[in-house]
Chains A and B, each alone.
Chain A
Amino acid sequence: MSVVNVRRQRSNDNCAQKSHKELVSCVGWTTADELYSCSEDHQILKWNLLTRKFHLVSKIGRIEKSVEAHKGAVLAGRWNYDGTALITAGEDGQIKIWSKSGMLRSTLASQGSPVYSVAWGPDSDRILYTSGRQLVIKPLQPSSKVIQWKAHDGLVLMVDWNSVSDLILSGGEDCKYKVWDSFGRLLYSSSSHDYPITSLSWAPDGEVFSVGSFNTLRLCDKTGWSYALEKPNTGSVFSLAWSADGTQLAGACGNGHVIFAHVVEQHWEWKNFVITLTKRRTMQVRNVMNDAVDVLEFRDRVIKASLAYGHLVVATSLQCYVYNSRNWNTPLIFDLKEGTVSLILQAEKHFLLVDGAGLYAFSYEGRLISSPKFPGMRADILNAQGVSLSNDTIAIRDKSDEKVILLFDALTGKALSDGKPLTHKLEVMEVALDQCGPSTERKIALIDKNRDLYLTSARHLGREPKICKIGSMVHCMAWNDGANILCGVQDNQLTVWYYPSAVFTDKDLLPKTLYIKDGSEFSRTPHILSYVGTKVALRQGDGSLVYSSIPPYPALLHEYSTSARWEDALRLCRFAKGGTRGTEGEALVLRAFSFDPSPPSTSGKSLVAAWLFPESQSSLSLPRVQYINFIKEQPSKESSLAHMLMFSGQVQEAEATLLQAGLIYQAIQVNIDLFNWERALEMAVKHKTHVDTVLAYRQKFLQKFGRKETNKRFLQYAEGVEVDWEKIQAKIEMELSKERERAANASVRSSVASRR
């Protein structure tokens, strides 16, 4: 999306609808197409946008209940998000909470000056109100801390608080509007306008907001910069309201008009396609390769759309259209249950629709695959930062406890790993799943409250997964669509993690797989929009789009390694090395690659590694090469797998693998090598073999460091056991040959089986 225009809707003569005789003070939507407006001519009008009629309500409408709420005028009133409580603020400076039936629950605050505007917090547990030039956030619990800060140089006239993005908007008589986070930190302050800001309103999805002033209507991005400005001849816009689907906007004007605006001219880009929403129900698809233009018409107005992985998904108020980029003529159409789709996420094989009622994963053939559910789900406040989709997994940040990430299988909708969610130590701000590779290696990247970037495995069996930190000061991130490459904006510079999983193998390798692009070409905090192919699209703080290209080699390497085409990979490496610039990173990613512990067959990888490492004289890499060679020389599959696990620091798994294969000596030896004496002895005693081996090694170790045995258990066993090195060596040799024999048998057996 790059440009959005506000237009007066339903206006043949380009003039807004005149209906009230006096100024219109308030508007509000009930459904997507029904609006109420009230005016100082003592009338409430009901507008139906489909039939183009309006009804007078004041004369016939029955007033259910009328309550004397404040001394002086009531200036603001708002329902909470589930409609169970009403809050009112008045000229007498009091804020009162009312039940649904109109009973006074409590007087929350009282001050000397009028309260002009009030808003509920995202969970309806806090309220925000104006106090002269200040803004106050007050929790409903009486003991909790109140936040208060000076917001404007003039009276604050209007506030709004979005439940999805948790951002606060304020506008005042100093003719500025400002965006704040919920801690009262200023995120954006507009330049001074000509007239006071009289109204503000967040779109329900929290991506855009509208600002009203004298003869002015503005549409702005959540980061504050302005998409479009309209100068309707309406007088001051006193109230603005978005329809629930976030596509239509109504404004109450000082001259008695009610204006309707509609958001159009959104852009979507993917590879060589540019799609523009030209009218409410029309999209234009442009193929920039051959300048072919297709026009897509819809029966209802477009609410949300998404373009990725060769598919365009468009949600209108009643139906969902799925287009394939190869054929724009015949979309797949299916009906939607609820009209207000708030989010569309796409993966290669399917896409996810989020509406007020829940999440639904559909295949591109239009088949409902799954619908993940969890207790306390509030699908209406999910945003793109809190949900992530890959071909097999769905990750959702739990809104009730933001440290928790819920993981679901995309194909069944069931919770992964026995319903045990992933728990981080801090509040999680953003989650993203990688898009490629087998489902067992699915990784999830998350950014927490401290803006640290972590990586962990999404699918884990039994034990707690390791959550490894791979970056700090990361503002936003995105996975590549075709390879497991992660990019992020780190402290104003663009960082690409060519092989983030390297952190599981070796932390020291990670910095070598980084590609950092100088931040000087970007101005204020850019935000990543997409990372497709080798192109990263970023949106800068001032709203401009910038692109950055990432060298193509790593993605190719990923591709070769997943398809185990090591000879091609090697050729690519040679080619990249021979280049003049930007090749170091590629070489480094290879290094990490060759240590990828997952597939046991390492011949191709070690080939690549062997080619790479003789050249690089890095002290870091040499012992690793030796170890890789050592792994290659292991007599059996099991022990090389175990050593691979050891290599990536998963000692317990390595031990378990060996024990499972019945290689008890090898398991003991592993522990001896790690100086894990107690465990080695324990195992030796338990399996009644190699106690002398353990003791012998222990003695050797103690001698080397000139120490004496103090461990009681060792002393105890040392008494009964004679240490004879020759005997031990012979025993070890025997064990190894036994293992070799077994491995040979196994391979013969498997080859026989394969021949059959």
Chain B
Amino acid sequence: MAKDPLAEAGFYFDELNKLRVLEPDVSQKTSELKEECKEFVDKIGQFQKIVGGLIELVDELAKEAETEKMKAIGARNLLKSVAKQREAQQQQLQALIAEKKMQLERYRIEYEALSKVESEQNEFIDQFILQK
């Protein structure tokens, strides 16, 4: 097959019979490359988006974990202090109970004294009736 003089000069015809300075193969490859590149960029973009979402999610998670952690610490401290609070409360109640006990004791003594007075008075009444 004879060499195309055009080809030699570096000119080619493509399928649409337009004159080209690039070899059709190369041209095809180039356009393929371009396509692939585009695809690649798209994919990268998509990837980035996905990763961004992920990061966001993880961040949120971290934050939540942090608050939960704080909550846990707080609860743990609260728990610790509840014991102390109870102790204080107990102390207070005990003081109040002691106070009431003292009052009860006072009432008991008063009651005893009054019972004694009552018995004395009854005795007097009996004596009075007997004498009459």
A contacts, CB < 8 Å to B: 3, 194, 215-216, 225-226, 228-229, 231, 521, 535, 540, 542-549, 551-552, 575, 578-580
Contacts and interface: CB of A to CB of B under 8 A. Distances in A.
**Chain B interface SS verdict (over half):** helix
The 5 closest A-B pairs by CB, nearest first: A544-B106, A546-B113, A544-B109, A229-B99, A231-B92
Interface stretch (B14-22, B73-81, B117-125): B117-125
Nearest to B107: A544
B68 interface: no
Contacts of B131: 575, 578-579
5 contacts: A194-B91, A226-B99, A521-B113, A540-B109, A544-B105
B57 interface: no
B110 A544 contact: yes
Nearest to A536: B117
Nearest to A545: B110
Contacts of A194: 91, 95
B106 A549 contact: no
Interface string B88-114: 100110011001001101111110011
Contacts of B106: 542-545
Nearest to A543: B106
A551 to B, nearest CB: 8
Contact of A216 (B95, B109, B114, B120): B95
A625 to B, nearest CB: 27
A513 to B, nearest CB: 20
B99 to A, nearest CB: 4
Nearest to B108: A544
Contacts of B96: 229, 231
A549 B99 CA distance: 29
A520 to B, nearest CB: 12
Contact of A552 (B99, B102, B117, B124): B124
Contacts of B110: 544-547
A563 to B, nearest CB: 22
Given A542-B106, A544-B109, A215 B127 contact: no
Nearest to A542: B106
Contacts of B102: 225-226, 542-543
B127 A580 contact: yes
A579 B131 CA distance: 8
A547 B117 CA distance: 7
Nearest to B105: A544
A543 B103 CA distance: 9
Nearest to B120: A549
Contacts, number: 56
Nearest to A522: B113
A468 B107 CA distance: 39
Contacts of B124: 551-552
Nearest to A575: B131
A549 B103 contact: no
Contacts of A548: 113, 117
Contacts of B107: 544
Nearest to B89: A231
A535 B117 contact: yes
A410 B63 CA distance: 87
A675 B73 CA distance: 106
Contacts of A579: 127, 131
A576 to B, nearest CB: 10
B103 A545 contact: no
Contacts of A535: 117
With a 10 A CB-CB cut-off, give which of A3, A542, A544 has the most chain B CB atoms.
A544
A216 B92 CA distance: 9
Contact of A546 (B95, B109, B127): B109
A547 B114 CA distance: 6
A654 B2 CA distance: 187
A542 B88 CA distance: 27
B45 to A, nearest CB: 57
With a 10 A CB-CB cut-off, give which of B91, B103, B121 has the most chain A CB atoms.
B103
B113 to A, nearest CB: 4
Contacts of A540: 109
A580 B120 CA distance: 13
A382 to B, nearest CB: 29
Contacts of A542: 102, 105-106, 109
A546 B124 CA distance: 20
Contacts of B121: 549
Contacts of B117: 535, 547-549
A549 B127 CA distance: 16
A422 to B, nearest CB: 36
Contact of A228 (B88, B99, B108): B99
Contacts of B92: 215, 231
With a 10 A CB-CB cut-off, give which of A225, A226, A546, A548 has the most chain B CB atoms.
A546
Contacts of A226: 99, 102
A540 B120 CA distance: 21
Contacts of A549: 117, 120-121
Contacts of B109: 540, 542, 544-546
A540 B112 CA distance: 13
A534 to B, nearest CB: 9
Nearest to A580: B127
A433 to B, nearest CB: 27
Nearest to A523: B109
A548 B121 CA distance: 11
Contacts of B127: 579-580
B25 to A, nearest CB: 87
Contacts of A544: 105-110
Nearest to A540: B109
A344 B105 CA distance: 30
A83 to B, nearest CB: 38
Nearest to A535: B117
Contacts of A521: 113, 116
B31 to A, nearest CB: 78
B95 A3 contact: no
A3 B102 CA distance: 12
A614 to B, nearest CB: 22
A231 B113 contact: no
